Amino acid sequence: MTRLSPLLAQATPVTVDHGEGCYLYGTDGRRYLDFTAGIGVTSTGHCHPHVVEAARRQVGSLIHGQYTTVMHQPLLELTERLGAVLPENLDSLFFANSGSEAVEASLRLARQSTGRPNVIVFHGGFHGRTVATATMTTSGTRFSAGFSPLMGGVHVAPFPNAYRYGWSEEEATAFALKELDYIFATLTAPNETAAFVVEPVLGEGGYVPGNTTFFHGLRERADRYGILLVIDEIQTGFGRTGKFFGHQHFDVQPDIITIAKGLASGFPLSGIAASAELMAKGWPGSQGGTYGGNAVSCAAAVATLEVIEKEGLVTNAAERGAQLLEGARRTAGAGVGDIRGLGLLVGSEFTAPDGTPDRATATAAQQLAARKGLLLLTCGAHMNVVRMVPPLIVSEQQVEDALAIWSEVLDEM
């Protein structure tokens, strides 16, 4: 008998039969409130009728066009639609399939356009699982364990992770920027540095939001030294944080953003956006791939953008996010050391009485929640943060339902 690889470890015991809105229906006949959204992907909910209809129509007319062979209409339409929501200076797009590929595309463009070899990433960041992006990932040793040598040219600077350092946000930010300057003096000179690659909110690293002072510090150094600011919006884009893109909370202009996840409601699609001038400095032929910008994914993405706009999902993410964060703070008891987030990214960090990360309790809480019908994920370097990342269509009542289950879980733990 053929079996699934044990490498495909599952976070919950649930096998899904189908999904609708914020619910997944298991083959066990139970209904689950899904606060994982396929790791922040199904922002319009499972099988939103408008997205389903757009994909169905596209499947019937063209499934695969291969955009370096022939251009296709859904990709052109998506490019146009994205123009209305992207920061004004980012007027040129490249499409791929996964988040990791998008980050690699940004890395290639940054190195090619600057002629510089090194990049600086920020501690606790997650940028993917390919060898290059795993090298750039510092949110857990598991992501790069056992397949060294990794890619060269990556240096790691601190992210203002106040709780982890045990400092105020101001202290953590001042330290992060000071350390960045020390890295320039000791590890990679500015004129050897192509890019900063950074998330607006550490995602897999534990739902730690950045802040305005930090991002202004990065922008100021990027301008001073001709370094590109690459903002990885893969988890934070398309309304997830309560603004269209996560960096918009911090009044900062990126040179490149990476996009994926919430872009196409679960169809594989990713990309990078940059100015046409910067994009033109990439080397022809060096970016591409068989499946990038798939026609059905692009049609689903157009429909997704329509749903985000028509249903006011960015505003809903801000309002429901505030409700969720406030509720999680209200229900937290002993053992939860910190609760933080931005929009519909809310994390509860479990800490043992001696101050060490408490993975066992976080895992047990997640498992108990699943048995009670609420699906959650963990994250953080120590997997001790329980994260709530529901679809952006989540209602006030569904947030209350999730909080009621979470409160029961914490009481019983």
* Nearer to ligand PMP (CB atom), residue 34 or residue 204: 204
- Is residue 204 at the binding interface for ligand PMP, with CB under 6 A as the rule? yes
Token pair of 224, please? 């001073």
* Nearer to ligand PMP (CB atom), residue 110 or residue 234: 234
Binding mask 223-262 toward ligand PMP (x if CB under 6 A, else -) reads ---------x-xx------------------------x--
Pairing of strands 23-26, 228-232: unpaired
Using CA atoms, how far apart are residues 32 and 16, in angstroms rounded to an integer? 9
* Nearer to ligand PMP (CB atom), residue 158 or residue 200: 200
# chain residues binding ligand PMP, by CB under 6 A: 16
State the nearest-atom distance from the C-beta of 41 to ligand PMP, in Å: 9
Other beta carbons within 10 Å of 366: 21
Pairing of strands 345-350, 385-388: antiparallel
- Burial annotation 373-384 (CB, 10 A radius, 16+ → b, else e): bbbbbbbbbbbb
- Is residue 193 at the binding interface for ligand PMP, with CB under 6 A as the rule? no
Which of 14, 51, 103, 295 binds ligand PMP (CB under 6 A)? It is 103
State the nearest-atom distance from the C-beta of 39 to ligand PMP, in Å: 6
Query: Dihedral through CA 273, CA 79, CA 241, CA 213, nearest 10?
Result: 30
* Nearer to ligand PMP (CB atom), residue 203 or residue 217: 203
Query: Dihedral through CA 139, CA 269, CA 246, CA 361, nearest 10?
Result: -40
Judged by CB under 6 A, which stretch of 22-30, 94-102, 220-228, 319-327 contacts ligand PMP? 94-102
Residues 331-390, interacting with ligand PMP (CB under 6 A): none
> By beta-carbon distance, which residue lies closest to ligand PMP?
99
Residues 116-155, interacting with ligand PMP (CB under 6 A): 126-129
* Nearer to ligand PMP (CB atom), residue 37 or residue 302: 37
Binding mask 20-59 toward ligand PMP (x if CB under 6 A, else -) reads -------------------x--------------------
- Is residue 104 at the binding interface for ligand PMP, with CB under 6 A as the rule? no
* Cβ proximity of 98 and 262 under 8 Å: no
Judged by CB under 6 A, which stretch of 74-82, 93-101, 292-300, 381-389 contacts ligand PMP? 93-101
* Nearer to ligand PMP (CB atom), residue 128 or residue 337: 128
State the nearest-atom distance from the C-beta of 314 to ligand PMP, in Å: 19
State the nearest-atom distance from the C-beta of 240 to ligand PMP, in Å: 10
Query: Could you tell me how far CA 196 lies from the centroid of its own chain?
Result: 17
Token pair of 67, please? 């955009």
* Nearer to ligand PMP (CB atom), residue 119 or residue 234: 234
Token pair of 317, please? 């993410």
State the nearest-atom distance from the C-beta of 232 to ligand PMP, in Å: 5
CA distances from 214 to 68, 107, 138, 177, 274 (A): 39, 22, 18, 7, 22
CA-closest candidate to residue 188, choices 227, 136, 242: 227
Burial of residue 207, with CB atoms counted within 10 A of its CB: 0-12 exposed, 13-18 middle, 19 or more buried:
buried
CA-closest candidate to residue 262, choices 345, 354, 367: 345
Note the residues at the interface with ligand PMP (CB under 6 A): 39, 98-100, 103, 126-129, 199, 203-204, 232, 234-235, 260
